C-alpha cells in the first residue's frame, strides 16, 4: 500500500513537471523541429524593410497591438469569419495596422520548410525583434514556443492605448498587462521610427495642447489640415531617419512629441526623469528596451494544447 501510494505520488509529480516544461517558452524550442526558422524570418523581414523602411516600424506596432489583446497569440492576424470579429477593424487598427502580407510571406516559407510546426505568434514575435535590429536597434534572445489563438477579441482591441490618452490612462493600460511605468516609457521609444496618420495628432497641432513647440506645430499643420487629410502621414520622430535610436526622447524634451500620448511622458509627471535619462543615454535605452520587450513577449502566451499552430495566419485551421 505504501509503495503504491509512493508510485502514485511520483507519477503526479512527473505529470506536473511535464506540464510545467510544456508551458515554458524556450530560446531553443525549434532547435530540432525547425532549426532554420529564425533565418527564414530574418531574411523575409530584411527584404521587406529594404523595400520600405517604414515596414519595420509597422511590424513592431503590429506585435504590440497583438500582445495587448488576449496576449501574444497572433489574434490580430485573423481575418473576419463566422464567429470571429476581426481585431483589424478596431479603432486602433483600422486603416493603420500594416505588415500582414509580410507575415503571410514568412509563414509560407516556414510552412514549406517545417510543416505545421511554427506558430504565427512566434513568427510575429521574431519579425518584430528582427525589425528593430534591422533598423539599427538592439536585439535579444527570443523565447519561443507560443501557440496561436482560435479567437479574436474586437472589444478588447477597441481598448488599446490611444494617442489622446493621459499619462495616468497609459500607466493603467500598461499595468493591466503586468507592465510598469518604466516599461511604458521604454516601449514607447519604439516611436523613434514610423509614422502616424493625421487624425491621431490633428487636435494636438491645431491648438489642443499647450506643451508643444510652436514651430513643430506649424510644420505639421502643413500636412495635417483642420479638416480632411485624415490619412496623411507625418513621422513620429524628427529628423525622420528610419533608424532606431533615442531621438524620440530628445524630441519629447524639446516638446516635439507628435502624439499627445507621447508628450505625456515628458510633461511634469513621474516618467520625466526616465525620458531625460534616455535622451542622454542611448545605451541605457537599448538595454532597457530589450528587457521590456521580453516582458511584452510573454504576456498571456498560449503554450502546448492551450493553442494551435495555424497553417494560415489569417484563419483558424
Active site residues: 65
Q: How far apart are CA 189 and CA 171, in angstroms?
A: 15
Residue 26 pairs in a beta bridge with 144
Contacts of 71 (CB under 8 A, 6+ apart): 299, 300, 301, 302
Query: Which residue ranges make up the annotated binding site?
Result: 66, 69, 71, 73, 75, 87, 161, 191-192
Which H or E element spans position 235? Answer: strand 233-235
Cα torsion through 163, 167, 173, 178, rounded to 10:
130
Q: Mind giving me the DSSP string for 255-292?
A: T--SSHHHHGGGSSSTTHHHHHHHHH-HHHHHHHHHHH
β-bridge mates for residue 315, sequence order: 312
CA distance 108 to 40: 10
- Binding-site residues for substrate: 161
Show the cell assigned to 100.
500582414
Instruction: Give CA torsion, residues 197, 198, 199, 203, to 10 deg.
Output: 140
Amino acid at each position: 500500500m505504501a509503495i503504491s501510494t509512493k508510485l502514485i505520488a511520483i507519477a503526479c509529480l512527473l505529470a506536473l513537471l511535464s506540464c510545467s516544461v510544456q508551458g515554458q517558452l524556450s530560446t531553443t524550442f525549434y532547435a530540432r523541429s525547425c532549426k532554420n526558422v529564425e533565418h527564414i524570418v530574418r531574411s523575409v523581414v530584411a527584404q521587406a524593410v529594404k523595400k520600405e523602411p517604414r515596414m519595420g516600424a509597422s511590424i513592431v506596432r503590429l506585435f504590440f497591438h497583438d500582445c495587448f489583446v488576449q496576449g501574444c497569440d497572433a489574434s490580430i492576424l485573423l481575418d473576419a469569419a463566422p464567429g470571429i470579429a476581426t481585431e483589424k477593424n478596431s479603432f486602433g487598427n483600422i486603416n493603420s495596422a500594416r505588415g500582414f502580407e509580410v507575415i503571410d510571406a514568412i509563414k509560407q516559407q516556414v510552412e514549406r520548410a517545417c510543416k505545421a510546426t511554427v506558430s504565427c505568434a512566434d513568427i510575429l514575435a521574431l519579425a518584430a525583434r528582427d525589425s528593430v535590429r534591422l533598423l539599427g536597434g538592439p536585439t535579444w534572445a527570443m523565447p519561443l514556443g507560443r501557440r496561436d489563438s482560435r479567437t479574436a477579441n474586437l472589444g478588447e482591441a477597441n481598448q488599446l492605448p490611444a494617442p489622446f490618452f493621459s499619462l495616468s490612462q497609459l500607466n493603467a493600460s500598461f499595468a493591466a498587462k503586468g507592465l510598469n511605468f518604466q516599461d511604458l516609457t521604454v516601449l514607447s521609444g519604439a516611436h523613434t521610427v514610423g509614422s502616424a496618420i493625421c487624425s491621431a495628432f490633428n487636435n494636438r497641432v491645431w491648438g489642443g495642447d499647450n506643451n508643444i513647440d510652436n514651430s513643430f506645430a506649424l510644420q505639421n499643420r502643413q500636412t495635417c489640415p483642420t479638416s480632411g487629410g485624415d490619412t496623411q502621414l507625418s513621422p513620429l520622430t524628427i529628423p525622420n531617419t528610419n533608424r532606431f535610436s533615442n531621438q524620440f526622447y530628445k524630441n519629447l524634451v524639446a516638446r516635439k512629441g507628435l502624439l499627445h500620448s507621447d508628450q505625456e511622458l515628458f510633461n511634469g509627471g513621474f516618467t520625466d526623469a526616465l525620458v531625460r535619462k534616455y535622451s542622454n543615454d542611448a545605451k541605457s535605452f537599448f538595454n532597457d528596451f530589450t528587457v521590456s520587450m521580453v516582458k511584452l513577449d510573454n504576456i498571456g502566451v498560449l503554450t502546448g494544447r492551450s493553442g494551435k499552430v495555424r497553417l494560415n495566419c489569417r484563419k483558424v485551421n
